[in-house]
Amino acid sequence: MPRPEVMRHMLTGENLGLITRRQQIPDKECTYFFFVANKIISDGVIRSDNRGSESPFPLYLYPSAESLEMFHQSRQPNLADGLLPQLSAAYGFNPSPEDVLAYIYAILYSPTYRETYAQELRTDFPRIPFATDGDIFRQMADLGRQLINLHLLRNPSNTAGVKYQGQGSDTITKVRYDANSGRVYINADKYFEGITLEMWEYRIGGYQVLEKYLKDRKGRQMNDLVRYIHIAAALAQTLNIQKKIDTIYQQAESNTI
């Protein structure tokens, strides 16, 4: 379980947290070691197995309620000492802690980064190359913010053409994907359409997101279809953003602070 002294920072006030794992499964692709949260988490939120556990890293640290000076203190960024001044000196502007988290998140979702450092990522926490170019930092941070908003399902207005169709029962009995029609069936009659093969195969934590969501609810009513549509749309947009990140990533890593 994540330590209570870490989780309290997610409960005390507004916060974001990066979730990552140190030990990974050797023969699996690197899709299972990072995510983002704005609430407390339980162990297994990314993947449930006996190869390590999730470690949450809150963006802000709040003063302890037991501190005599708690009312005279404010939350502090949970970043390495000197990082923000060093970035400010390099870029000519002052990145916020949220900018830094968004930049890191974008780097972690670069397919090239994951492939290049796959072996290292299986044995240690990720290490982040900070670009010397402020414009590159800003572009990556903007894409990272988009990913964070998608993964927290904030303002999920874009449905990416995903629809729930068919007649009959809404009970999830047999989950099946038809690549030719782009349909995900929950039983013989009801299905979601507009699901591309890339969306269907997208993995987080080693699991296919859209498949696992339904299989975990087998035997139950499909009463959260809007949420499923928003998740599918978020994956579609994630795939597009990852492509944009990869066009910038090489520039970010070629000249680092």
Give mean pLDDT, residues 146-171: 91
Give mean pLDDT, residues 182-196: 98
Give mean pLDDT, residues 60-70: 71
Give the count of beta carbons closer than 10 Å to the beta carbon of residue 208: 18
All residues at 6 or more sequence positions from 157 whose CB lies less than 8 Å from its CB, including other chains: none
Give mean pLDDT, residues 92-107: 97
| Confidence at residue 35, expressed as pLDDT on a 0 to 100 scale | 85
Note the pLDDT tens digit of each residue in 20-58. 876 666 666 666 567 898 887 765 555 555 555 677 889
| Confidence at residue 112, expressed as pLDDT on a 0 to 100 scale | 95
pLDDT category of residue 1 using cuts at 50, 70 and 90: very low
> Residue 114 and residue 110: Cα distance in Å, rounded?
6
Q: Is the pLDDT of residue 12 over 80?
A: yes
Query: pTM, whole model, 2 decimals?
Result: 0.88
pLDDT category of residue 67 using cuts at 50, 70 and 90: low
| Confidence at residue 64, expressed as pLDDT on a 0 to 100 scale | 77
Identify the weakest region by mean pLDDT among 19-23, 175-179, 211-215.
19-23
| Confidence at residue 153, expressed as pLDDT on a 0 to 100 scale | 93
Identify the weakest region by mean pLDDT among 56-60, 141-145, 205-209.
205-209
